[in-house]
Amino acid sequence: MDINKLVRKNVQQLTPYQSARRIGGQGDVWLNANEYPVAPHFELTEQTLNRYPEPQPEKVIQRYAQYAGVKTEQVLVSRGADEAIELLMRAFCEPQHDSILYCPPTYGMYQVSAETLGIKTKTVPTTSDWQLDLEGIKQNIDTVKLIYVCSPNNPTGNLIDSDDIKALLNIAKDRALVIIDEAYIEFSPESSVVSWLNDYPHLVILRTLSKAFALAGLRCGFTIANKPVIEALQKVIAPYPLATPVADIAAQALSKDGVNTMKLHVVNLNNQKGKFANLLRQLPIVEKVYPSYSNYLCVKFQHDKDVFNILWHQGIILRDQSRSIGQQNIIRITIGTQADCEAVISALKTIK
């Protein structure tokens, strides 16, 4: 029996998201997944694994609402922000009829989630400086229910201009939700749009504990939005999205001490990023280090150097972004430990 004949046609044609772990590699220096380089330590305090967890763990919701400066009714917790991306489509988009819109180069899961669900996609590429093409969006907004904007953007690392986001919200008024993916916002907290929620009922913000909180393995994300949006998402989310150990550790990470530890990590990592960027700029092989408001750098290397593969075979695993950005020899490098960054610099110096 050919099981593939039973698979939905759109899934048969789907190219899965190429996550860092799916791509693989073998090495000692892993700088391809935008993870925090040092593992935090937690101990489980909840010992009620014989019971189902809370549908929306109260302590996690309360602590995240306090941290984000919103009401508890404006917060939904999910299995990473990736689940939230899909929940919005399930709640608001009619398959084969409605569309989502996103602006490449950007995070690939917007496209993959839509294609998985049979929802149409529209793309309006960013401008040459990786900002929104507002006129292009305006011309393509028919049938669009959701507009996804990542800021700081992955993989480019830049912030989206706040005035352009406001303009986008005005374009989408009474037509679509505008989802601002703030997965990396802790590295540039002053740029968050959370304070705009009262003025824009169609604004949605996505957050995660994967990056600055150093908990990528926990799979815990958040949707911040006004109550009607949260209520719609609660209709389609799984009954128990967070396992008890996940909620337990998330609540600890969101305690006062946990948040203070995260902020210290951010200061240290931003300092490391600045030093690493300066060292990269001094190398002849580097053409440009792009400004970054995240925990990674987007770097353009000389066109005739196979930097990605050379370092890959030395056990230094980076992320080739040439295809997604549309320019050759652009690599995204996660900020690692000082030893990690020194290993990258040393390896690059040997390339002639």
For the segment 176-189, what is each residue's pLDDT rounded down to a tens digit?
Answer: 999 999 999 999 99
pLDDT, one tens digit per residue, over 44-93 is: 998 899 999 999 999 999 999 999 999 999 999 999 999 999 999 999 99
Mean pLDDT of 241-245: 97
Domains of the chain are: 3-38+258-347 (3.90.1150.10), 58-254 (3.40.640.10)
Whether residue 152 is predicted with pLDDT greater than 80 in this model: the reply is: yes
Mean model confidence pLDDT for the chain: 95
Query: Given this model, what pLDDT does residue 238 score?
Result: 95
Model confidence at 22: pLDDT above 70 = no
pLDDT category of residue 4 using cuts at 50, 70 and 90? confident
- Tell me the whole-structure pTM to 2 decimals: 0.94
Query: What phi and psi values does residue 334 have, to the nearest 5 degrees?
Result: -65, 145
- Is it the case that residue 120 has pLDDT exceeding 90? yes
Residues with Cβ within 8 Å of residue 183, at least 6 apart in sequence: 81, 107, 150, 154, 206, 207, 208, 210, 211
DSSP-assigned beta bridge partners for residue 208: 221
* Per-residue pLDDT band at 19 (split at 50, 70, 90): low
Band of the pLDDT at 8, cuts 50, 70, 90? Answer: confident
pLDDT band at 263 (very low <50, low <70, confident <90, very high): very high
Name the pLDDT band for 352 (thresholds 50, 70, 90): confident
Name the phi and psi angles at 331, rounded to 5.
Answer: -125, 140
Give residue 9's pLDDT: 81
**Residue among 120, 103, 85 at smallest CA distance from 171:** 103
> What is the token pair recorded at 343?
């290993």
To the nearest 10 degrees (0 to 180), the angle between helices 80-92 and 227-234 is 90
Q: Which residue has the tokens 């309360």?
A: 62
pLDDT, residue 268, reads 96
Residue 47 contacts by C-beta under 8 Å, 6 or more apart in sequence? none
The share of the chain scoring above pLDDT 70, in percent, equals 98
The residues that bridge with 100 in the sheet, in sequence order, are 121, 146
> Which DSSP letter does residue 123 get?
E
- Residue 304: is its pLDDT beyond 80? no
Closest CA to 67 of 226, 258, 266, 241: 258
If you average pLDDT over residues 247-260, what whole number do you get? 98
